C-alpha cells in the first residue's frame, strides 16, 4: 500500500507534463491547463481520503473528541 501511491502520483504528474507539452505544440493552450487541473483533482481525491484516515487514527488513538 505504501510506496505505490507515491509512484502513482509521480506517474500522473509526469503524464500531465507530457500531455501539456503535446497540447502546447498542437497549439491548444487552454486544454493544457484543463489537463493540469484535472490531474491535480484526481490526485487530490485519493490524498484527501488518506489524510482523513490518518486524522481518524490520531483522534481515536489520543481520544480527542
Partner 1 sequence: MELIKVIVLGVVISFVAVLLKQIKPEYAIICVVVGSVILLGYILSSLTGVFDFFLNVVNKTGVNESLFYVILKIIGVGYLIEFSAGVCIDSGNTSIADKITLAGKIIILLIGFPVITNLFNMILDMV
Q: Which positions touch partner 1 (CB under 8 A)?
A: 1-3, 5-7, 9-10, 12-14, 16-17, 36, 39-40, 43-44, 47, 50-51, 53-55, 57-59, 61-64
Nearer to partner 1, 26 or 50 (CB): 50
Nearest approach in angstroms of CB 30 to partner 1 is 18
**Least distance from C-beta 51 to partner 1, angstroms?**
6
Do the Cβ atoms of 23 and 32 come closer than 8 Å? yes
What residues contact 15, with CB distance under 8 A and at least 6 apart?
39
Any idea how long the chain is?
Answer: 65
Amino acid at each position: 500500500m505504501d510506496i505505490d501511491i507515491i509512484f502513482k502520483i509521480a506517474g500522473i504528474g509526469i503524464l500531465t507534463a507530457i500531455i501539456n507539452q503535446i497540447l502546447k505544440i498542437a497549439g491548444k493552450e487552454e486544454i493544457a491547463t484543463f489537463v493540469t487541473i484535472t490531474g491535480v483533482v484526481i490526485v487530490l481525491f485519493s490524498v484527501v481520503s488518506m489524510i482523513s484516515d490518518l486524522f481518524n487514527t490520531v483522534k481515536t488513538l489520543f481520544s480527542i473528541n
